[in-house]
Chains A and B, each alone.
Chain A
């Protein structure tokens, strides 16, 4: 097949762009987890905050990605480097699924179990780390999985503002009107998304609450 031959011939560049893509997706997902999971934990315990937090994350999601990139461009420090900007935008988009799933996961832990634990003298942090989080981890991971898959797709758009990644092939192919180049970007991106989906999905099943 033409595409496969093209990819093999240009494997160095395909690899390099794939690594750039992984960097964008991975780092932003990590940030989203570091911010989103604690935030989800907080709103699951203080439900008065849950509406505003979830609503904000929801609003961010409705902003078209290219528009969000555009909004962030004029900012100092961030706007100077498009990869920083892209990582910020990707992080913001990943927040909703992660916060929401953390919230849902913890709220769906059997309250009788939590109360039993509290009654036996577990501290709040012991309850969180030994009971709530382990029981919610499968749902949380499911949110992470969704976030990663979304990010892989969004990161292709980031190439439009110069952040690199597999989207660069796609845009180049469009400009050159060359399908092989487009696919050389699209196929690895699709494979990345699939691999993440399957990999994290496997982890979810392993850790599913017994």
Chain B
């Protein structure tokens, strides 16, 4: 025979359990678009979001500023986001933990296949640009020392301080491999800094060598030069949308609509958009919208 307080307690527990189970994440009529926490990722995220908003009747929610590849991966696996922009090279080495490849198509196919098989995630067609790592130096140094490639830079590396992002330090296709491949011998350990601050720091002579990205908006703006990867160390980093297969099943129009972005963004165009946000401090939302209007993807 249960006393009133005991049965009340049991009821309470059951109610709590029921409430909890209903809290486990899921959302059926919205699309959640994620992005990482740097400018190019916001812009891509906005492009994806606006494309879906313009061409479908779905409501889009933005969940940007996710702090890194791992967090985005977790979020999409858990269903907290439905789609986010990733790079084929990053997916291959950081998530699938496989050695880097050289060939764009090969890398894309491998990632697409593995993502479908292991994670139930679909890879949409690439946006069109290759945001691989670009080792940047100041324009004045490049002209004075007459160097254009990374191999040439090796001789001058002992005089330089390098600045790199955190992920570049940790990733197998990052700092360690580059230094070995090109025989770079920097005087000190590289300074690890926020990606957004690298260009500035380079310009201000706080560092002499920055591990930036090929589509950095500030490259042309601040007269920085990206050294050529003549030994082809850095794998391709094509930007692609990663979509949950479940989302595609429930809303096939999402895949269709994102496929329209196939090959639409060149390196130069991405650089320009990045600069608009980083250099001119414009709103990524507006920059994305402008692009979609210009390319007639949206009216």
Question: CB atoms of A and B under 8 A apart anywhere in the complex?
Answer: yes
- Whether B20 contacts A162 by the Cβ 8 Å rule is no
Minimum C-beta distance from B124 to chain A (A): 22
- Whether B61 contacts A13 by the Cβ 8 Å rule is yes
A168–B74 alpha-carbon span in the complex (Å): 13
- Whether A20 contacts B65 by the Cβ 8 Å rule is no
Nearest A-chain residue to B67, judged by Cβ: A171
- Whether B6 contacts A164 by the Cβ 8 Å rule is no
Question: Within 8 Å CB of A26, what residues of B?
Answer: 16, 19-20, 23
Question: Within 8 Å CB of A160, what residues of B?
Answer: 67
Choose one: A16, A22, A30, A175; the contact of B65 (CB below 8 Å): A175
A84–B19 alpha-carbon span in the complex (Å): 18
Choose one: B5, B64, B73, B80; the contact of A20 (CB below 8 Å): B80
Is residue B17 within 8 Å, beta carbon to beta carbon, of the partner chain? yes
Question: Within 8 Å CB of A27, what residues of B?
Answer: 20
Minimum C-beta distance from A24 to chain B (A): 9
Interface residue SS majority, chain A: helix
- Whether B78 contacts A22 by the Cβ 8 Å rule is no
- Whether A164 contacts B20 by the Cβ 8 Å rule is no
Whether A162 contacts B5 in the complex (CB less than 8 A), given A19-B23, A27-B20, comes out as no
Nearest A-chain residue to B77, judged by Cβ: A81
A12–B70 alpha-carbon span in the complex (Å): 25
Is residue A106 within 8 Å, beta carbon to beta carbon, of the partner chain? no
- Whether A23 contacts B25 by the Cβ 8 Å rule is yes
Question: Within 8 Å CB of B65, what residues of A?
Answer: 171-172, 175-176
- Whether A82 contacts B74 by the Cβ 8 Å rule is yes
Chain B, range 1-56, C-beta contacts under 8 Å to A: 3, 5-6, 9, 12, 16-17, 19-20, 23-25, 27, 37
Nearest A-chain residue to B19, judged by Cβ: A26
Minimum C-beta distance from A66 to chain B (A): 13
- Whether B78 contacts A30 by the Cβ 8 Å rule is no
- Whether A19 contacts B71 by the Cβ 8 Å rule is no
Q: How many residues of A contact B (CB 8 A)?
A: 29
- Whether B74 contacts A162 by the Cβ 8 Å rule is yes
Question: Within 8 Å CB of A161, what residues of B?
Answer: 70-71, 74
Question: Within 8 Å CB of B5, what residues of A?
Answer: 134, 206-207
Is residue A132 within 8 Å, beta carbon to beta carbon, of the partner chain? no
Minimum C-beta distance from B82 to chain A (A): 13
Nearest A-chain residue to B20, judged by Cβ: A26
Question: Within 8 Å CB of B80, what residues of A?
Answer: 20, 164
Choose one: B16, B61, B75; the contact of A30 (CB below 8 Å): B16
Question: Within 8 Å CB of B16, what residues of A?
Answer: 26, 30
Given A82-B71, A164-B75, A164-B80, output 13 extra A-B contacts at Cβ < 8 Å: A16-B25, A19-B23, A20-B80, A26-B16, A26-B19, A81-B74, A134-B6, A161-B71, A162-B66, A162-B70, A162-B72, A168-B66, A172-B37
Please give the residue numbers on chain A whose beta carbons come within 8 Å of chain B beta carbons, in ascending order: 12-13, 16, 19-20, 22-23, 26-27, 30, 80-83, 134, 137, 160-164, 168, 171-172, 175-176, 203, 206-207
Enumerate the 10 nearest inter-chain pairs by beta-carbon distance, A residue then B residue, closest first: A162-B74, A162-B71, A23-B23, A172-B65, A26-B20, A82-B74, A19-B23, A22-B23, A164-B80, A175-B37
